[in-house]
Each structure stands twice: as structure tokens, then as C-alpha cells.
Chains A and B, each alone.
Chain A
Amino acid sequence: MAIETTTTDGAVKAAPTPDRSRRTALAWLIARRALMGLVTLWCISVIVFVATQTMPGDVAKIILGPSATADQVAQLNKNLGLDQPLFSQYWDWLRNVLTGNMGNSLVSGQPVSELLSERIFNSATLTVMAMVLILPLSLLVGLLAAVFRDKLLDRSYLGVSLIVTATPDFVLGSLVVALFGTVVFKVLPPVSLIPPGDAPWQHPQELVMPLAVMVLVGVTYLSRLVRVSFIDVMESEYVQLAMLKGLSMRRILFRHALPNALAPSIPAASIMAAYTIAGSVVIEYLFAYPGIGSALVDAVAGHDLPMIQAIIMLMAAAFFCFNQLADVLGTLNKSR
């Protein structure tokens, strides 16, 4: 919506030199979006900080356990800087982040960047691989379901996708583990053990099950959108005319229907990518995949604020970027 308004405004204002004006408008748009992104991230950092402060439990007590005396708890809180006023703690963290330093883990004392660097790479790899599979498969499944609309194939697909969508990722993952890893077939490694220093793709067997669950969840969601888009297009007058003219079904589908059916699905795919990042927390935890999702679970359990902040900010930034991409693609499609 923003692009449309700006583009229109830009065209009016820059009538004598339309290209220059469009470039200026685009630069302004990007700057505004970037600023909005920064404000969003700052708001998230405040929310996460406040949320972690209201979480029940004391970091030092969690670290030291029930055998710790009050003196020991107080001393550890002092060592960790947790005896400082809240504003001071937040300001210290923000000041470090602005200078590119994500701080040290409260629990281990190690730099957060060191603890997360390889995990970020692993999580990004898993998400990208999942998306690479989800997009074409969703298209194929959605297209087939639309072509065979109301037939057995379509009805079966709708039934299965309804069950998958209604089943929590955790349950779905556990079933897949039991089926292929531990109880029934035992053909795949039930846990994604990627040795430190190795890239995930060096261990394809370990990736099969987490990817399968992510793809299953992603495809059942996205392919239904593709299916609906295709059905709409197939019922449109220009496709009906093409059919009457005797064009082959392949030509109708791929030349005429596909570009129009695909357009509304692309923004949805971007949002799907954003959800895949968030959803990877459950998948990583379930399959013990060494990514940021499993690190987040630990950080929350240990009330390790710098780790929680870093991981949430990363996820939020990725989420924001994909949402912006969805917004831009949606606007471009609308303009077209």
C-alpha cells in the first residue's frame, strides 16, 4: 500500500524527470522501512527485557540450585551485574549492541556471538533448505489439487492437509521419529547430530526428518493457497475462452494460468518463510538440531537475558525482512 501511494505521489511530483523522481521515492521508501525496522527491533528489545524481568525466578538461584546460601546467591548476582538498577542493565546492553557487541552470556560468561555464530548458520541452512523444498512442492501439489478439483485426489489431499495443519508440530515430529527412527522402521537417525565445525549438508541423513516435518507443515499450508488461486484463475473468463479455443491443457496451465495464480501466493510464501524461522524452535528442540531455536529454549530456562535478546532480535529481524518482502511483492503484484 505504501509503495502504491508513494509511487503515485512520486509520479505526480516528478513529472519532468520521472526516473530520477522514482529513484528518490524508492530511496525514501527504503529509508523509511529501514527506520521502521530499527524502531520495531528496539521495541522488541524493550518488550523482551521487561518480559524477562517479570519471569518468576532468580538467575543466580537457577544457576546455583537449591543448595546455595543467600550470601552465595547475592554474590553471584553481584558478579553478574544483576544488582544494578534495571535501566542501567538495559542501557549497558543497548550501548554494547550499538557498538556491535551482543554481550556475554550471563550463565557461561562467554560472548554471545561466539556461542551463536555456528548455530545461526545451521538454523539458516535448515530454513533455506526447507523453503527450497516447500515452494516448488506447494506449487505442484496445489496445481494438481486444483486440476483434479473435487476428485478423489483433491479430497484426499484436503483431508490430509487438514489433519497435518491441525496437528501441532511437536506431535507430528514425535510421530515421524517413532515411525522412521525408533519404533517401527528404524531407517533414519532420530536425532540430528551435526558435529561442531561441519556444515549441515555434510550430514544429509540427519537432515531428513527435521526437513520432512518442516516441509510437510509448510506444503500443506501453502499448497492450499496455491490451489485456491488456481481454481479462481481456472474459472476466469480468459481461461474458459482459451479452453473453448481448443488450446492444450498444458499450455493453458503453464502459459496462462500459472503466472496469474502464482502472484497472490508469492507474498504468502514470504510470510511462510517467516513462520518457518519461528517454527524451527520446536523442530530444533525435538530433533536436537544445533541451531538457535534449541539455544533459545536453554536461554529462557536459564533466564540468560543477553542470549535471549540476541536470538529474539535475530528472529525478529528475519521475520521483519520477510514481511517487508511480502509487502513489496504484494504491492508489485497489485501494481502489475
Chain B
Amino acid sequence: MLAPVVTSALVISLAAACSSGSSEKKGASTGGTLRVGVVASTISTLDAYANLRSQDFYVRNATMFEPLAHRKKDGGYEWALATGITHNDDNTEWTVKLRPNVKFHDGSTFGADDVIAVFQRVLDKKNALIERNYIDFMDPKGISKVDDLTVKFKLPKPYGPFEFAVTNSNIIFYKKDSKPEQAMGTGPFQLVSFSPGRETLVKRFDGYWGEKPKVDQVKIISFKTAEASTNALIGRQIDASSNILQTSLRTIEKTPGLKIMKSDVNLKVSIGMRADTEPFKDVRVRQAMRLIMNRKLALSNAFDGLGELANDHSGFNRCLPAVPQREQNLEEAKKLLADAGKSNLSINLETAANKPGMLQLVQILAEEAKKIGVTIKVQKMELGAYLEKWGERVFYTGYDTRPYLEGVPEIISNDAVLNHTHWNDAEFKSLAAKLYATSDPQEQCEIEKQMKKIEYERGASILTATNPTVSVYSSKVNGLIPEFPSGNLYDFRKVTIDQ
């Protein structure tokens, strides 16, 4: 009984303590070293396209490398290494204009050859890179150099959201033929030293084409756990981190000199139901499970009140369908199960509990299900074992941080690993085909709304809440901004430190 009261108090106090998404402050001094804490693996590498990726990989890459453009919240782009992208009428030929006078950290000039080399590497199946999934509509042979600052992409078939695909924040550019350990990028910081799993030190790159960073150096310090990162923040051993133990937020709030920053919501912890297998083959059973979930309770108790209610469709706060917020309705759920002949359903739910709140979420579902005679047995598994049968599991947990356009290809894929719910909806697929054929953002948005409505009505995931990334930083640090869409602290160009 005490838990909701405590949680409410925590939510209110956190809301008061949280800044409004950035740590801007006028008149701060320049220089100094910013110490950023990340949870990382001992066995990370400097390669911009390393296979193993923990938080240090993303923070390090964001300081030293750049994409063609940064995506913005409103769906637009802030151009980085490109200055514009044009296309022909049927969306089969796309031309990328590159920014002139961009230098690599060794002083050499960035150009079309470097862009082509990166795309060829990503598209080469032998390299087994995840980024290939975002641009597999391309033909490697169709990429050609027009001049030093222009690259042309001839596609095998029309593809509308080309700009969206090639501006993925993980598709970043390094100098052609440079060695991975050189980390030869064009970003605002350049490499000083790297010790795997311990520390990366970067310094301001004075030849940077854009607004130069104000701090002299950024030290990216790796920790094994969020507990250690949180302790280091409280102990003043680091200045900022997005890898925080959420259960420690109350202690952090009471610690003088520390501030909390929430990003926009960017994470959905999901419960998947395999739609081609009993009992979830029947849409009534899937809908019943969605109605059993007490979303408000889950948001307050599993996610510490951080975030917003979600409505059983993927994507975040853009292009939302006109459907009511789904609420718990045990009577309706019981009726649907009875209609489907599954009144006393008993089923296992497997989870790796690899995101905050995931285990608590499924436990809440199991407890609520008991009230109408449904037995859900929660099985917590080690991550390696859990992933081994990914794509085969019937009732399971997952999470999604991707924008809608990036997530849909997996939902409609024929690959069981990608389309892990095995949900095949003809109308949804037909709309997806239209979505990827048009390059008009307005039209894309309208199609997205229809697709999300279908997910809401007959999809195969329970999406309860969307959560923000919570970062904590020293009050001496100004100018930190949560990166879009990840919400993490990746952009240190505007950071100043009070000396």
C-alpha cells in the first residue's frame, strides 16, 4: 500500500528536480576536461563499425565521427557532412551533396571517396554489420562518384525515405583506407588515447568545420555497471552520465551539486506474442492480454513514474493514430478469452530482464492475470541463453528505441529473427509498401497513422509505457543536451564547466 505513495512522492520530487531537457547557462567559462561515465565492456574497440557495442562505443563515435545529417524531433534534418539530398521523380536515383572544406583529424580533406568506401563496407555481407539492415534497399554497384563532393545512388527500386535511412546516427564516416585504431573522423573531437573498457580521452579538434567545442578535452570513463557509474557521480569522480541506476534517483536528488535531466521519451519495453502460434494465433487472446495490463500501475511501479503511457503501437510522439488510450478492462479480457476458448489459460513468459523495469512489468501482468484465472509463469533468463532462441519464443520481452520508419521493416520482414512476433497482416504490409515508396513527409505521416491503428487493433505486442533516458550531471557543467532520438549525452560541443 505504501509503494504508490512513495512512488508518487518520488515522481513529484523528480519532476521538480529535473531540468527541462538541457543544462544551458550563460556566462560559463571555457576549457577544462569533461568526465563522462558510461557502462561499457572491457573488450570494446576503436573501430567506428565494431561488432560489439556498448555505451562507450556510441559516446566515443559521437565525439569523433559524424553522419551525413542529424535527425531532428520535428522530422527534419540538421545537415552535418552533407548539405542536401535530391532525387528523381520516381525515387530511384538519389544525389547527396557533401559539405565542402571538411577536414579529417589528420588535416586531409573529406570527400565522395570516403562516403562511398563506408557505404560499400556497410553493404558488404561479409562484414555482418547491423547498419546494413537500414540501407539494404541499396545496390553497392549503384553507388558512384559524380565529383569530389557529390555521390549518386541508383536504387534497384523506388525508395522514399532515403534521407531518413542514410542519416541513421550509426552510419558515420571515417577516412578511406585509414586504420580503425586511428579513429580518423571529422568530428569536433579527436582521439588522444584509448584503453579498452577503461577510458577514452579526446581533445578539441581545432580544424572542425562547425562551431568548435568549448571544453579542452572529454574523458569517457567506462564502468561495468550502472551502480558503479552512479556511485562515481555521487562521489564526484565523474561529471555526467546517462547510465544511471534509476532506483538511486532519490539519493541523487538529495545530493547537493547534482542535477537530473530527462530526455523525450525514446524507449518502449515490449511484451511480444507470437502471432502464428497458439494461443496468440487468435487475435482475441492477444487483445485480452493487452486489456489485462494495468498500464498506470506499470508506469508508476515498474518504471518509477518516468515516462508516458503507451498504446500498443510502435513509434514515439509523432504521427499518432486517432484511437483512445487503452485501459485495463478485466471483464472484457475474460470475455475475449472465453470466446476464444482459453478461459483458464496457463502460459510461460520469458524475459532476460535487460532493461530497467522489464521484470517488474511482466510480474505486474502476471499478477493482474491471476485476477481472471489466467496463469502467467515468469521465467527470467541469462541474456545469452535468451537471445539463442530469439525469434522462436512465444511470449517474451523486448524493447524498441527506433523511430517508426526504422522499425517497420522488421515488423514486415520474412526473417523470423527480425519479425519475432511472426505477425503478418496483409493490410499493414500493403501500407508499408506505400510508406517506403513515397518521399513526401506528410504522406508518410498519414500512412503511419493508419499502420499504427492496425497495430493497436490487431498487433502482437503489448506496449505499456514509453520511457525517457535519465541523465545526471554536476551543477558545474552547462550546455549538455540529450541527443535525439537516443536521449543520451552524446553532444558536448556546447558544454562549459564552471572552474
Contacts and interface: CB of A to CB of B under 8 A. Distances in A.
A binds B: yes
B234 interface: yes
Interface in A182-209: 182-183, 186, 188-191, 193, 195-197
A60 B390 CA distance: 13
Given A70-B415, A108-B196, A182-B251, A65 B43 contact: no
A182 B42 contact: no
Nearest to B134: A67
A301 B387 CA distance: 12
Nearest to B402: A67
Contact of B43 (A108, A188, A196): A108
Contact of A64 (B51, B231, B386): B51
6 contacts: A67-B418, A109-B45, A115-B42, A188-B235, A193-B237, A294-B42
Interface string B378-392: 000011111110100
A299 B43 contact: yes
Contact of B130 (A65, A105, A110, A295): A65
A195 B387 contact: no
Contact of A68 (B125, B127, B234, B417): B417
A71 interface: yes
A79 interface: yes
B329 to A, nearest CB: 31
Contact of B387 (A61, A70, A76, A118): A61
A296 to B, nearest CB: 9
Contact of B198 (A188, A290, A297, A302): A290
A45 to B, nearest CB: 20
B41 A302 contact: yes
A303 interface: yes
A177 B420 contact: no
Most buried by B among A68, A71, A188, A294: A68
A238 to B, nearest CB: 54
Interface string B79-94: 0000000000000000
A195 to B, nearest CB: 7
B51 A107 contact: yes
A92 interface: no
A64 B43 contact: no
Contacts of A295: 42-43, 197
| 5 interchain residue pairs of minimum CB distance | A57-B384, A56-B385, A196-B195, A190-B231, A298-B42
A302 B382 CA distance: 12
B232 interface: yes
Nearest to A114: B196
A67 B384 contact: no
B223 to A, nearest CB: 5
A63 B45 CA distance: 13
A304 B197 CA distance: 14
A57 B382 contact: yes
A198 to B, nearest CB: 11
A66 B50 contact: no
Contact of B418 (A69, A297, A304): A69
A55 interface: yes
A19 interface: no
Contacts of A182: 231, 234-235, 251
Interface in A76-109: 76, 79, 105, 107-109
A9 interface: no
B317 to A, nearest CB: 23
Given A61-B387, A62-B383, A68 B231 contact: no
B384 A62 contact: yes
Contacts of B224: 285, 288, 294, 297-298
A58 interface: yes
Given A62-B384, A69-B417, A191 B128 contact: no
Contacts of B420: 66
Given A57-B382, A62-B384, A303-B384, A189 B125 contact: no
Contacts of A181: 231, 234-235
Given A75-B125, A288-B224, 7 more contacts: A55-B384, A63-B51, A67-B133, A71-B125, A72-B132, A73-B417, A107-B52
